[in-house]
Structure 1
Amino acid sequence: MSIKLISLIDKARPRRALFTTFTFSISWFEAIIVPALRRWSCEQIDVLVDARYARRSTDEASGLYIGSAYRVIPVYMAKTTVFHPKLVYLEGYDDADRLVVGSANLTLSGHGKNLEVLDAISAADEPGVLGEFSDFLDGLTAKYDFSADHAEILGGYRTRIRARLPKLGPVDDSTRRAWLVHTLSRPAAEQLTEHAYRLDNPHTLTVLSPFHSPTGSPVQELADEIGVGKIRIGLDGKNPVAPFLRDGNAFDTVPGFVRADTDHFDRTLHAKCFEVEGNDGVIVMTGSVNATAQSLASTDNVEVSLVRLLDETPFAWKKLDQPKEYKACEFNVDELTARKPALQVSLTPDNRLVGQVFPAGADQQVTLEVLDGDTSRHLQQYVPMTNGAFDVRLNRTLKVDNALQLVVTGDDLYAVGWINVELDLRTDPSQRELAKASARLLAGEHRNADLDQITNWLLSLQSRLKPTGTPGGPRPGGAGPKTKAPPARKMTYAEWRKTIEEAQGSNGQPALSRNAVEAAIQWVNRDVKKRRDIPELKVPEPKNPGGPTEGKPDTPNKPDMPRGGSAPKPAPGSKPRFIASEDDEFSQQPGTSQDNDEAKETDERFLQALEAIPRGLELDARGSIVPLLVELSATQVLKLTLNTLGPVENSGRQTSQLPLIQGWLNRFARFEYSEQNREALLPLFAAMACCAAEFHGEVVLPSLKEALVRLLGRSPEAGEVLAGARLGFESDRFERLNDEGKQAVLVRAGDIEASSTNSDVLTDLIVLTLGPQSRTCPSVAPEYTPVIRALHQYQRQPDSKAFGVVPDGVQASSAPCCGGPLHSDDMTILRARRQVVCKECKRPIFYGLDPAVLEERGLTNRFKV
């Protein structure tokens, strides 16, 4: 039988496979069936097993792939009823789906030692049978208990079939030759009787079954309903014992006896076959239905068989004179009684155990123990279980490659089952490697090879994202839409993080994408974790405030730590060491290995991969994974800011011509986020803006205010920046700042709200400078002095273009006024500062100003775009 099933698998080349069985042998299934399916790159394997035997399978010590290469779903049946169908649904890559209906369980006996019967149909030949199988799955999930995840999995097969059927054309009942029989709502005997009416003068009923009622009454009643006058009972060829009472049976006359005439008649009988002969053909029903009252004449069990209308019998029957003896079937009722609850449980990609116990029992706190063979890998107590369901995040990452079991214990409760590791079951090999790399990084194992996995995933962002519209968010011209959007709803920290952590990746794997980003953030902050137990160095109080200097930043000699920053732990016998640049982080230190070149190369690739984030957001900033990606980029910028500040002058703030956080906010505020993403990103942007105001000085306030207005599409409400920043600082994205530092940074929220936007400031300055009353150059802050002086040269030339405007989101290569070259470095400065003096014509160039607003302010014909 195993050769036959494997040949069907080879013919179908399935993409997905669903099995149902009563008894189950893990060792046989993993040795024979799993390799056959893997040979054809089968993506999904699911096995429905009667809960009693699913639990007994946990006694097998040889399970290696259960829960990782294939999923086991136990089906709980009350009292002595059983889940008994033996089906295989093979979803083909070529749409040639096949359904195998048989009598054999997924065991060595079923597919090698017993005498079994197997039938298979193709969707192309018998689409009606596939439709009935879809109805069976529908009825199964409606009548019996499944966890939400498992019901969804079965629904996926059902959806596939129903989507496929219309392509096969309408089913003509008048020409059908095969039907699926199941017992979810009607007894099998009743359905077989209806199909037997298709025959002219049905006269003989032959029943081959390993199990009968002691009196044989179900067979006699079936014969009476069909109207046949002759009954034949098939016996075990090796041990031809009549399986009912000699005396006191229900047969009207002594039935005839036959055995299946096959080359393997000496095998133990386990086949189930009902055959009705008529004058013009034969009806054959094969599958899981036995000749017992519970199986044949009731809806207690879950049974499935296939009925065919044939011109002649496909079987050869050999007549037996007399049975060896009469011996009624003995049923071990105690063995079938469900005393132990069924357990359906999954380990999700984000390290949560989600399970359901059937029957539910009382609500209580339970203990969960994860077993790897006989070894306990994890114990978690006091887990709440409500209505039989539990959902708990493990407090450690499980790093085992063998099959895992879960034991659930509580008050009068003991349940055990296999853990379905969804990461392995639902993802392709590359995704599994990404997830394992993420898990190791999250567990604190900082390995270059794992970072490479994260890096490759980040680099693939652009190829996975697709354009959703005009990039750049709000249209050029300043601070966003003219219509006022409603203020963001006030959220608790838990609510805010939930909007972030429920993110889904573009590949539909939410936890996989989330874990990859979380691992990357942990990598960025790995240096902070090494400093947590180190006394903080005192930070010098800022002296006289001052503004940034012009030109390139000087190289720091002894940079002070920014307020709120933490310091590296000095090595024994050495002086405290500060990281003054990005490259400096990888320079040789006493006691380190010689692998720093490799580490530096790995990290440089990672930093390059971070640039894939904004490039990807230019294509699509509406996905639910977007806030996490933005958080990752912000974490890296915050690290660079706090590690490269300098030189620290009187203000204690950065004097760089291009403040990192300000530039980051300007760039990331302009993407076309969804409204949900804008709300989710407000706490991060507010916290980053407060950091920029603290570390970069008042000079950046207008730019910070403009970035927040651009993100929200409106001006922040009173107190909204402070409330958002407080939320943001509760996350570990800002763990570089200690509590004192965060409080100092939060003070700047009011300054940001009170500030005008950069566009408003620049527009006001332009109007003031070019106004007819401006006879002398206005006195302005030092950062605006060069452009205002250049602009004032054209105050008395009202007919000339006094300045140029580069629209927001445009990477200009030439100056607007003179057409001279505008290099990428110039554009970098222009985007960050919003203003620069053209090196060619010495006229000012402004970035992102709204031409319509400039014209409204009386500056028509005074600028060129």
Structure 2
Amino acid sequence: MAVSHGVFHPKITVLSGEDCHLMVGSGNLTFGGWGGNFELVEHLHPSFAAGAFSDAAQFFERLASEPSVRHGAGRQCQDIAEDLRTAARGQSNSGAIRLIHSLDAGLSEQIVAYADELGGATRMMVAAPYWDEGQAVSQLAGRLGLESVSAHVHPGGSARGTVASWPASPSVSIEPVCIDFAKTDVRPLHAKAFEVLCKRGRLLISGSANATGAALGAGGNVEASVLRIQRERLVGWTLHPSTAPEDGRPDWEDDTDPTNRHGVLRAVLEGDELTGQVLTPRMSGRVLAWQMTSNGPEPLGAVDLDERGCFTLAAPGLELAAWNAGRLVLRLVDGSGRVAEGFISIEAATAIVRRAGLMAPRLLSLIAGTETPADV
């Protein structure tokens, strides 16, 4: 994904087959995100969260054609949206669990609107590893009519990043607290959660959004979070008094920092033809293509990129190699030495997965020659 403003920051997983599950949270596809950090994830099912499934379908439909996001996977986004809509069809929808995202409006604006529906806010607690100087949360608090905000101080500290882990100059009072259920966790905080107590209920927001203007405001990052609306709940999380961190300044690379990294491309292999697009950096003209293997790079020849970074490359025999290797990585290098890399999606394998459903892993094992007796 490449975006015209900010970063593409959602962390969404859709598991679709005979049943459908939706997971929205804070964890990236890294060792930290899958256990090394303290993360939050909402695991949703249409039996109790049909509204969130419909919202997620709308998000993927928007993503398919959103001009500010470059990805070349419009058809796949539409397919995911259809799976989500199908899963939600016929299910009861209480409206208590929603998915909110920033493609329609800033998250702050949406949080304020939902709080107003519950009679207005009386308290807000924020847990986030990354903050700006405090402006974003101060502005949100002001719109909610609050003069102070509680902020979680995590026992294990915050995941290191290129932005601050504590607000340096907020315009509202920041009260350091520790959430009861996290008080003994020693992993670095990477979870993002906002609790807003209201006169007639409570809002819980968790997902990808940090306590920054880029995450909460309009026109910044692309973000996605789950919103729980609890109309009968008047008591919030148990908060213990704490002490603000001694040093909340930026430390080292965040997972969204693009400095000194390879660019990103997407590529699809259909038969003997490889098509794709360089998403970042912007590249055009003649480049050299390489297939990255366990034995080192294998040359695929020169290829021409158009002004949008799109390309088509003849690749006879590559599909057969893919079944044996299990994965394919493509590298493009331009004349100035800039590099873009990405996985190659195999169209035939994608079709098998969608059509065969639960049988797909066995069929793919048979094709690759790695089947076991249980697959036959």
TM-score range, shorter chain: 0.7 to 0.9
The residue that corresponds to 2:342 in the other structure is 417
| 1:205 positional shift | 1.1
CA distance in 1, matches of 2:103, 2:348: 33
Match of 2:84 among 157, 161, 177: 161
Match of 1:343 among 253, 256, 265: 265
CA distance in 2, matches of 1:117, 1:429: 29
Match of 1:105 among 23, 28, 32: 28
Aligned partner letter, 2:136: P
SS in 2 for 1:335: coil
Match of 2:107 among 177, 183, 188: 188
The residue that corresponds to 1:37 in the other structure is none
Q: Is the 8 A contact 1:213 1:329 kept in 2?
A: no
Aligned partner letter, 1:196: A
The residue that corresponds to 1:299 in the other structure is 219
Q: Which runs of 5+ in 2 are unaligned?
A: 159-163, 353-359, 370-376
Q: 1:107 to 1:315 in 2, by over 3 A?
A: farther
Q: Which runs of 5+ in 1 are unaligned?
A: 1-74, 438-865
The residue that corresponds to 2:327 in the other structure is 403
Aligned partner letter, 1:288: S
TM alignment of 1:648-667, pairs within 5 A: none
Structure having the higher strand fraction is 2
What value does the CA root-mean-square deviation take over the aligned residues?
A: 3.0
| 1:177 positional shift | 1.3
Q: Is the 8 A contact 1:205 1:275 kept in 2?
A: yes
Aligned partner letter, 1:407: R
CA distance in 2, matches of 1:409, 1:307: 43
Match of 1:376 among 292, 297, 321: 297
| 1:353 positional shift | 1.5
Q: 1:274 to 1:405 in 2, by over 3 A?
A: same
Aligned partner letter, 2:152: G
Aligned partner letter, 2:196: V
TM alignment of 1:2-151, pairs within 5 A: 75-78=1-4, 81-94=6-19, 97-143=20-66, 144-147=69-72, 150-151=73-74
CA distance in 2, matches of 1:338, 1:154: 30
CA distance in 2, matches of 1:164, 1:239: 39
Aligned partner letter, 1:353: L
The residue that corresponds to 1:318 in the other structure is 240
TM alignment of 1:677-688, pairs within 5 A: none
The residue that corresponds to 1:55 in the other structure is none
| 1:266 positional shift | 2.2
CA distance in 1, matches of 2:223, 2:3: 13
CA distance in 1, matches of 2:283, 2:154: 47
Q: Is the 8 A contact 2:202 2:236 kept in 1?
A: no
Q: Point out the structure with max Rg over C-alpha.
A: 1
Deviation digits for residues 16-72 of structure 1, max 9, x if unmatched?
Answer: xxxxxxxxxxxxxxxxxxxxxxxxxxxxxxxxxxxxxxxxxxxxxxxxxxxxxxxxx
CA distance in 1, matches of 2:81, 2:333: 34
Match of 1:211 among 130, 146, 169: 130
| 1:346 positional shift | 2.0
The residue that corresponds to 1:276 in the other structure is 196
What fraction of aligned residue pairs are identical, expressed as a percent? 24
Deviation digits for residues 182-225 of structure 1, max 9, x if unmatched?
Answer: 011311111111111122342111111111112x1111111110
Q: Is the 8 A contact 2:128 2:210 kept in 1?
A: yes
Q: Is the 8 A contact 1:365 1:384 kept in 2?
A: yes
Deviation digits for residues 665-694 of structure 1, max 9, x if unmatched?
Answer: xxxxxxxxxxxxxxxxxxxxxxxxxxxxxx
CA distance in 1, matches of 2:261, 2:364: 38
Q: 1:436 to 1:166 in 2, by over 3 A?
A: closer
CA distance in 2, matches of 1:426, 1:300: 35
Q: 1:396 to 1:106 in 2, by over 3 A?
A: closer
Aligned partner letter, 1:119: E
TM alignment of 1:468-547, pairs within 5 A: none
Q: 1:352 to 1:270 in 2, by over 3 A?
A: same
Q: 1:329 to 1:167 in 2, by over 3 A?
A: same
Q: Is the 8 A contact 2:213 2:220 kept in 1?
A: no
Q: Is the 8 A contact 2:39 2:189 kept in 1?
A: yes
SS in 2 for 1:88: strand
Q: Is the 8 A contact 1:243 1:329 kept in 2?
A: no
Deviation digits for residues 763-802 of structure 1, max 9, x if unmatched?
Answer: xxxxxxxxxxxxxxxxxxxxxxxxxxxxxxxxxxxxxxxx
CA distance in 1, matches of 2:165, 2:266: 40
Structure having the higher helix fraction is 1
Q: 1:126 to 1:238 in 2, by over 3 A?
A: closer
CA distance in 1, matches of 2:26, 2:361: 35
Matched, 1:256 2:175: yes
The residue that corresponds to 1:364 in the other structure is 285
The residue that corresponds to 1:231 in the other structure is 149
Q: Is the 8 A contact 2:199 2:234 kept in 1?
A: no
CA distance in 2, matches of 1:362, 1:89: 31
Q: Is the 8 A contact 2:166 2:245 kept in 1?
A: no
| 1:242 positional shift | 7.0
Deviation digits for residues 621-652 of structure 1, max 9, x if unmatched?
Answer: xxxxxxxxxxxxxxxxxxxxxxxxxxxxxxxx
Number of residue pairs the alignment of both structures matches: 346
| 1:120 positional shift | 2.6
CA distance in 2, matches of 1:164, 1:220: 39
CA distance in 1, matches of 2:362, 2:225: 40
SS in 1 for 2:48: coil
Matched, 1:266 2:191: no
CA distance in 2, matches of 1:110, 1:99: 17
SS in 2 for 1:262: helix
Aligned partner letter, 2:26: S
SS in 2 for 1:115: coil
The residue that corresponds to 1:244 in the other structure is 167
SS in 1 for 2:59: helix
The residue that corresponds to 1:221 in the other structure is 139
Q: 1:202 to 1:433 in 2, by over 3 A?
A: closer
SS in 1 for 2:191: coil
